[in-house]
Chains A and B, each alone.
Chain A
Amino acid sequence: MAASTPEALADIRRQQAQRLRQAAIRRLLARIIFIALLIGCTIMFMAPFVWLISASLKVRAEVFNNELIPDPIAWENYVNVWQAAPVLSWLKNSVVVGFLAAATVTVSCAAIAFGFSYFRFPGRDTLFGLVLATMMLPGAVTMVPVFLVWNGLGLVNTQVPLWAGNLFGSAFYIFMIRQFYLSLPRELFEAARVDGANYLQIWRHIALPLTRTALIVVFIFEFKASWTDLIKPLIYLYNTALFTLPRGLKAILDQFGQGGEMQWEIVLAASVIVTIPMILIFFLGQRYFMEGIATSGLKG
């Protein structure tokens, strides 16, 4: 048959080689498209940051030009923000409120989650169902009465309402830490019981250290939530001196945007000041951010 002649065999080999070449070209093309897409998307996500920082360092007349590197570099924008607003005390307020909010929620949720996972008591699962149900409740439903509670306690226009509610836990974190506790072997706790430890000691010396990672995740996420929150400071704080950074940025926006043209160089410099601490926190806790989202589905 024809296929057995040397010419035909060579022909088949040639075709095979061509097919391989074509496949290689297709793979290369796919690779190029893939890399171009990836880089294009990255540029689109990073461009606003680059423009923000670049424009925040331009003099007013230049804010809208296309230069990437400002000329001259207007450090005075930051000085102006600094002088126009008590930025340093806002920063301090944000740190204090964020730390208190994160610390209280971590400790209380760890305790509550321990109660829901280690112990067995009647009605436990019903109560835990209630915990989960509260996650569905829109904040707007309780916003007004909760305001009235703090108002009744005379704590409106103090920073207490921004964090003290966290003393009572928060459904999402309780759920998350409980999942971690449930994965610990029960024998660990029982052994400590036999050695005469009380429940508080078991929680403190066995459960807490073994779930350190989960606790750090909770702390970082609550710190971030507190750091970026605008609604609570908006409702509870009237004195400029008490503001947190986001509330302060909103005040700067109002101050430099009213009555005509926005003074963008000031607003953008203030935006950088509000954003940078959060990015620093992210780089310090990067591992925990990623773990937190992956393990809990928590919104970043």
Chain B
Amino acid sequence: MLAGLAFISPWFIGFLVFTAGPMIASLGLAFTEYDVLNPPKFVGLQNFQRLLTDPRLGLSLGNSIFYTVLHVPLVMMVALGLALLLNRVGKAAGFFRTAFYLPSITPAVAVGALWLWILNPRIGLINRSLALLGIVGPGWTTDPNWIKPGIVLMSLWSVGSTVILYLAALRNVPPELYEAARIDGANGWQQFRHITAPMISGTIFFTLVVNTIASLQIFTEVYTMYFGNMNSGAAASAGLFYNIYLFRQAFEFLRMGYASAMAWLLFVIIMILTVIQLRTSNRWVYYEGA
């Protein structure tokens, strides 16, 4: 028994020093004004009142939610489509799998730099391809209405790991089920609706939760693309995502207290969303064992 505790002790120490302790500290800091250089000053609920009245906070939260609402369903649909394609390829699947997966291991900074160029309204790959079709493309990086759709487009390029996940789930569906359905005369859509979808619903649910949590916290790509332009211009409003604003408050303006209050607001939002997703999931997620 003592040996067991010894084995888990690194985790327990880390949990105290890097998780539980910081959580309590962060909650405490949320009630203070703290710039690292001077000792924290207790200010009561001031930071939380500021959360309610700060227009930039509302803006950044709105941007992150807008992005999440657009990004999560799109990523899941595109990934499922690609996985269904790959599942029918057979022997050459390895090659195509690699092609779809490579973008998702490309470092996020490089993805940001590359897409800043691909999305460039004048010279970028996308608008010049559109021009070949006679379409005048939008200002992906300059028009406030198109900056977030541009970032969503970029995020779709990195859909690869979700594709692999769906592919693994598809491969686990017992082929006998499809055979039986075909004998009963089910067409392709009916097979998808009544066999594939329920059998992979566990994986679909997992990606829904994970993608929602991750996309509310998007940081690196957007930071790479727009951080130099955060003080003025279109990116200052449309490219200000929640974690970027939080990062600025903490490490640029040294408002550690306000940043901590922001972090807790995000935590509460993520908790609520995850609980809602968990609660509604038992209506549509099918577990084989259950």
> CB distance B19 to A134 under 8 Å?
yes
Binary A-proximity of B21-58 (CB < 8 A = 1, otherwise 0): 11101100100000010000000000000000000000
In whole angstroms, how far apart are the Cα atoms of A111 and B115 in the complex? 41
> Which of A144, A169, A231 has a CB less than 8 Å from the CB of B260?
A144
Q: State A253–B114 Cα separation when bound (angstroms).
A: 11
| Given contact pairs A167-B14, A230-B107, A246-B109, a sample of 10 additional A-B residue pairs in the complex whose CB atoms are under 8 Å apart | A34-B88, A38-B89, A38-B96, A138-B216, A138-B266, A203-B7, A228-B107, A249-B107, A297-B206, A299-B210
Complex Cα distance, B247 from A139, in Å, reads 11
A-B contact count (CB 8 A): 250
Alpha-carbon distance between A124 and B260 when the two chains are bound, in angstroms: 31
Q: Decide: B107 and A245 in contact? CB cutoff 8 A.
A: yes
Q: Is B125 an interface residue (CB 8 A)?
A: yes
Which residues of chain B come closer than 8 Å to A137, judged between CB atoms?
19, 23, 267
Residues of B within 8 A of A (CB): 1, 3-15, 17-19, 21-23, 25-26, 29, 36, 82, 85, 88-89, 96-110, 113-118, 123, 125, 128, 157, 160-161, 164-165, 167-168, 203, 206, 210, 213-214, 216-217, 219-220, 223-224, 228, 243, 246-247, 250-251, 256, 259-260, 262-264, 266-267, 270-271, 274
Q: Does B11 lie within 8 Å of A48, measured CB to CB? A: no
Q: Count of chain A residues with Cβ under 8 Å from any Cβ of B?
A: 87
Contacts of B270 in A (CB 8 A): 136, 138
- Known contacts: A48-B125, A134-B15, A149-B18. The answer to whether A224 contacts B105 by CB under 8 A is yes
B243 and A140 contact, CB distance less than 8 A: yes
Cβ of A297 to closest chain B Cβ, rounded Å: 6
What residues of chain B lie closer than 8 Å to A114, measured between beta carbons?
7
**9 cross-chain pairs, A with B, having the tightest CB-CB distances, nearest first:** A168-B14, A119-B4, A115-B7, A300-B161, A145-B22, A115-B8, A294-B168, A145-B25, A142-B22
Choose from B19, B100, B107, B108 the contact partner of A45 (Cβ within 8 Å).
B100
Question: Among A127, A139, A268, A298, which residue has its beta carbon within 8 angstroms of that of B12?
Answer: A127
Chain B residue nearest in CB terms to A55? B117
Chain A residues with Cβ under 8 A from B19's Cβ?
Answer: 134, 137, 142
Q: In the complex, what's the smallest C-beta–C-beta distance from A256 to chain B, in angstroms?
A: 10
Chain A residues with CB below 8 A from B264, complex form: 141
Q: How far is the CA of A52 from the CA of B213 in the complex (A)?
A: 30
Residues of B within 8 A of A168 (CB): 10-11, 13-15, 17-18
Q: Is the pair A148, B36 in contact by a Cβ cutoff of 8 Å?
A: yes
Give per-residue flags for A223-239: 1 if the beta carbon is below 8 A from chain B beta carbons, else 0: 01001101100110000
| A120 CB–B CB distance under 8 Å | yes
Contacts A45-B99, A121-B1, A151-B36: A267 and B8 contacting too (C-beta < 8 A)?
no
Query: A142 vs B264: C-alpha distance in the bound complex, in angstroms?
Result: 10
A125 within 8 A of B: no
A289, B101: Cβ atoms closer than 8 Å: yes
Give chain B residues whose Cβ lies under 8 Å from the Cβ of A270: 113
On A, residues with C-beta under 8 Å from B are 34, 37-38, 41-42, 45-49, 51-52, 55, 64, 66, 108, 111-112, 114-116, 118-121, 124, 127, 130-131, 134, 136-149, 151, 165, 167-169, 174, 199, 203, 224, 227-228, 230-231, 234-235, 245-246, 249-250, 253-254, 257-258, 262, 264, 267-268, 270-271, 274-275, 278-279, 282, 286, 289-290, 293-294, 297-300
**Nearest A residue (CB) for B96:** A42
| List of A residues within 8 angstroms of B22 by Cβ | 141-142, 144-146, 149
Q: Which residues of B contact A149 (CB under 8 A)?
A: 17-18, 21-22
CA distance A139 to B220 in the complex (A): 13
Q: Given A120-B1, A254-B228, check contact A300 B109 (CB 8 Å).
A: no
Interface residue from B103, B108, B164 paired with A290 (Cβ < 8 Å): B164
- Residue numbers in A under 8 Å from B18 (CB-CB): 142, 146, 149, 165, 168
